[in-house]
Amino acid sequence: MIRSFTTYVKLFALLLIFGLSNAALAAECPRGTLDKQYCDRDGNLTADLPTDPAKWVDPDSLIFAYTPVEDPAVYKSVWAGFIDHMSKTTGKKVIFFSVQSNAAQLEAMRSGRLHVAGFNTGSNPIAVSCAGFVPFAMMASPDGSFGY
């Protein structure tokens, strides 16, 4: 009887230690609904930069994609002015990447092959949670109206 009691005490102690260490890790990196590879330390519901600058991504060229459309090649010329502006502003070559599906666009960003993107409305929350996307602008008319 005593032997089983000490076994239970040891098991309880291990569970307690494991639970506390997981709680400490969670407190160290709050993430809400973000994927486990991202943290949201400032509470703005988007991924933060890694605290270690060595983990920041600084590619030689930036890859840009706009939400998939029936004929992606058409958008290459539509976005030419934006791509030129981004290239001048960042000092980096910017490459337009045609995507065939929302899933392909999300996976490209999640894997680090896509750096700047125009996601459709429905993909925004998925891109934020799963791919570390940080929305910073939306398209609008000169009068400020927006929508479909």
What pLDDT, in 10s, does the model give residues 99-120?
A: 989 999 999 999 999 999 999 9
The pLDDT, as a whole number, for residue 22 is 43
Residues shown for the chain: 148
Domain ranges of the chain: 1-30, 53-131
53-131 has CATH 3.40.190.10 classification: yes
- φ, ψ (nearest 5 deg) of residue 69: -135, 175
The pLDDT, as a whole number, for residue 126 is 97
Kindly calculate the radius of gyration of the chain based on its CA atoms and give it in whole angstroms. Answer: 22
pLDDT mean over 5-11: 50
What pLDDT, in 10s, does the model give residues 66-86?
A: 998 888 778 888 899 999 999
The pLDDT, as a whole number, for residue 4 is 57
What pLDDT, in 10s, does the model give residues 10-55?
A: 545 544 454 443 444 445 899 999 999 999 999 999 999 999 999 9
